[in-house]
Amino acid sequence: MPDQERKATHEWRREKVRSELECMRQSQIFRRLKDVPAQRELRFSEIQKVSSLLEVWSSRLLCLSPQHVKVCSLPKPHVALIDAICHAIEWPDTLLTEQLILGAPAVGDIPDSGIFRKEDVPSSQTLESLDNCEWNAKLMASIEAEARRPDKATVLARLWEKTQAEVEKGIAFPIGSSQAMNKRVGEGAWRAMRTFGVEQNGKLRPCDNAKAFLHNACTFMHECLTSETADFLLRAAAIFAGPVGDESKFSFGIRTEDLESAYRRFPVSQPHLTCFAQWDPVAKRVAFFGLHGFNFGLVAAVVTFNRLAQLLNRCAVRLIPIVSSHYFDDFCVAEPGFAGKSGQHLLCHFMKLLGFVFQSDLVPVGEKRKGALWAMRNSFLGLSFDFSDFSDNRIAICKASDEKAPQIVGKIELILSTNSLVMPGGLSKLIGKLQFVLSWSAGRYGRAAMQPLYAAQSLLPSSHLSPEDIAALQFFLQILSRGCPPKVFSFKQNSGASLLVWSDASWGDLGENTTQGGLGFVIFDAEDSASECGRGYYSDTLSSHEMLEAFVVKSQYIGQLELLAAIAVYYSLPLLFR
């Protein structure tokens, strides 16, 4: 004990000096960070000057675009500025500017951009091996057959409304009949996809079936997408909490934005392969449409669009600079209050300068916007973050967003009412949603109850639920209805080892078929107010017969005793650890 106390006291005194120097450094950093808004405005004004000088070059370059790209009424990208920035920051995606002008391939061999993880996914078929005429005829016949089903009338009408809205925006353009398609690109030279609806959060999202129509089978990918994770906001908060320290008070908040039209904004070079067909409920016939950009459903669309989104985000981070990230078309700025919301403001203006707009910029005043304004409480990627106690106590609270639980509860209630794990989307979808919610609950609360569902997933679908399945589902129904305990993250900086703890246990044979265990701990409080050199605490005990009876029966108990010794520290002196 004396040796441990002397060592702890020596370390504490050294850390105390370090802590005082660190506070001085943190105070200087905080004063400099408060100048960020003005510095950003100066940087952005220089970018605007460069943008003005390059506008004429963008106009000339866009004259080289194919006709289907030229007629698109969406804002045109400032390709000259984008290209200049790519060279300035040495961006590895050397094809990006060219493809923004001429279009990117949607099917076939998709070149490696150098942005994402290298991984070859070869195509299983070739475009040359497909009979487009036969396939397009089958497509029309299947759409006509579906239109004769009364139960499909509502969905088909909603899909038609969605397409008409895209035509009005200039995202899609009507072509007409199959004869019009043949006249436009030549008989057998085009291959259409079928549009179907996907329900997402109560809304119908049009998607084109590129998998069934073999577009994806004819696509050779050379890279695999890597995207942002939900803990981005926590990492961003830690960036500021570390250098600034605990003494300087500042708030922390989030703003989210949604890039307008997403995949549709990146032009394609193969419009004869991205056309789609659906039922026209007014004219009572199959109608064909063309796109300037990518379809939702093309495997190439995922990587191609995210190449653009990655560049837009990294440009803002490196040139303005701001603390932001993106997940597909969802952008998020996470910054302290002393930045004056300049990051959010300049990100929107920077996007407009490059020729892209957020959905919030197009929403009339008074109407609901998709993104969210800067706030200490906000959501990102299905999680709710609360930074309202960050300024005073450097704490953030995180949990699955309130919209997640009702969706899962509805699926569980359906399973229990039908007494079957066979469900739309499969059991794996429910398990994935539960894993997400539980992983962001305190201590991953409830994960042990996932075992029956994992076991059921590995077996063939059963027509009836087992007692274990029912118990697990009823458990999740209860905890989701009342809410899982949130995770609490602390960003306080440790100024030194204020509490040093040693705990240990022993186990030995005393002879005559007698064994004995013991446990103990030592605590040193370096910041005890009653002592300049700190205060030490010590306790030990022998294991009782009743204690050993509560353990799992093993040949020796050292592991269980060590675990108990560690826990005993907190239960013996709970006030010391608050």
Say which residue, 360 or 217, is predicted with more confidence: 217
* 346 neighbors 322 (Cβ within 8 angstroms): yes
**Burial zone of 225 (CB within 10 Å; 0-12 exposed, 13-18 middle, 19+ buried):** middle
Same structural domain for residues 294 and 394?
Answer: no
% residues pLDDT > 90 (the chain): 53
> Is the confidence at residue 11, as pLDDT, over 80?
no
Domain finish residue from 356, 376, 400: 400
Instruction: Flag the least confident range among 23-32, 60-69, 345-354, 466-475.
Output: 23-32
Locus of tokens 């379809």: 295
CA–chain centroid gap for 286, Å, is: 38
* 295 neighbors 158 (Cβ within 8 angstroms): no
* 383 neighbors 400 (Cβ within 8 angstroms): yes
For the chain, what is the domain count? Answer: 3
Say which residue, 250 or 365, is predicted with more confidence: 250
- Long-range contacts of 140-147, Cβ-Cβ distance < 8 Å, separation of 24 or more: 140/178, 140/277, 140/286, 142/194, 143/194, 143/277, 143/278, 143/279, 143/286, 144/279, 144/286, 146/279, 147/279, 147/281, 147/284
Task: Write the single-letter amino acid at 5.
Answer: E
- Long-range contacts of 310-313, Cβ-Cβ distance < 8 Å, separation of 24 or more: 310/115, 311/82, 311/86, 311/91, 311/93, 311/96, 312/259, 312/351, 312/354, 312/356
The CA distances from residue 324 to 237, 332, 523, in Å, are: 12, 5, 42
Say which residue, 131 or 449, is predicted with more confidence: 131
* Average pLDDT taken over every residue of the chain: 86
Say which residue, 34 or 223, is predicted with more confidence: 223
Instruction: Flag the least confident range among 76-85, 201-210, 240-249.
Output: 240-249
| Interval 70-77 mean pLDDT | 89
Same structural domain for residues 336 and 253?
Answer: yes
> Is the confidence at residue 247, as pLDDT, over 90?
no
Length, in residues, of the chain: 578
Q: Closest Cα to residue 293, out of 203, 170, 184? A: 170
| Interval 219-243 mean pLDDT | 90
- The per-residue pLDDT for 157 is 95
pLDDT band at 199 (very low <50, low <70, confident <90, very high): confident
| Interval 158-181 mean pLDDT | 94
Cis peptide before 2 (omega within 30 of 0): no
Same structural domain for residues 145 and 292?
Answer: yes
pLDDT band at 16 (very low <50, low <70, confident <90, very high): very low
Ramachandran class of 506: left when φ > 0, alpha when ψ lies in -120 to 50, beta otherwise: beta
Say which residue, 217 or 508, is predicted with more confidence: 217
Locus of tokens 């969605």: 162
What H or E segment, with its residue span, contains residue 427?
helix 427-439
pLDDT band at 188 (very low <50, low <70, confident <90, very high): very high
Same structural domain for residues 266 and 354?
Answer: no
- The per-residue pLDDT for 93 is 96
* In a domain? residue 329: yes
* In a domain? residue 455: yes
- The per-residue pLDDT for 205 is 86
Say which residue, 515 or 187, is predicted with more confidence: 187
| Interval 34-52 mean pLDDT | 92
* In a domain? residue 53: no
Domain finish residue from 352, 379, 400: 400
| Interval 505-534 mean pLDDT | 79
Same structural domain for residues 277 and 165?
Answer: yes
- The per-residue pLDDT for 19 is 46
CA distance 117 to 294: 22
* In a domain? residue 68: no
Instruction: Flag the least confident range among 17-21, 35-39, 302-306, 386-390.
Output: 17-21
> Is the confidence at residue 220, as pLDDT, over 60?
yes
Q: Which domain holds residue 221?
A: 127-226+262-303
Stated pTM of the model? 0.79
Same structural domain for residues 344 and 444?
Answer: no
Same structural domain for residues 174 and 271?
Answer: yes
* In a domain? residue 46: no
CA distance 389 to 541: 41
Q: What is the DSSP string of 344-404?
A: HHHHHHHHHHHT--BGGGGSPTTSPPSSEEEESEEEETTEEEE-TTHHHH-EEEEEE-TTH
- The per-residue pLDDT for 9 is 45
Same structural domain for residues 438 and 365?
Answer: no
> Is the confidence at residue 285, as pLDDT, over 90?
yes
Q: Write phi, then psi, for 415 (nearest 5 degrees).
A: -65, -45
Say which residue, 555 or 302, is predicted with more confidence: 302
- The per-residue pLDDT for 460 is 58
Same structural domain for residues 380 and 482?
Answer: no
* In a domain? residue 71: no
* In a domain? residue 281: yes
Domain finish residue from 490, 513, 542: 490
* In a domain? residue 313: no
- The per-residue pLDDT for 128 is 92
Same structural domain for residues 195 and 221?
Answer: yes
CA distance 546 to 561: 13
Same structural domain for residues 427 and 390?
Answer: no
Same structural domain for residues 131 and 280?
Answer: yes
Say which residue, 545 or 8, is predicted with more confidence: 545
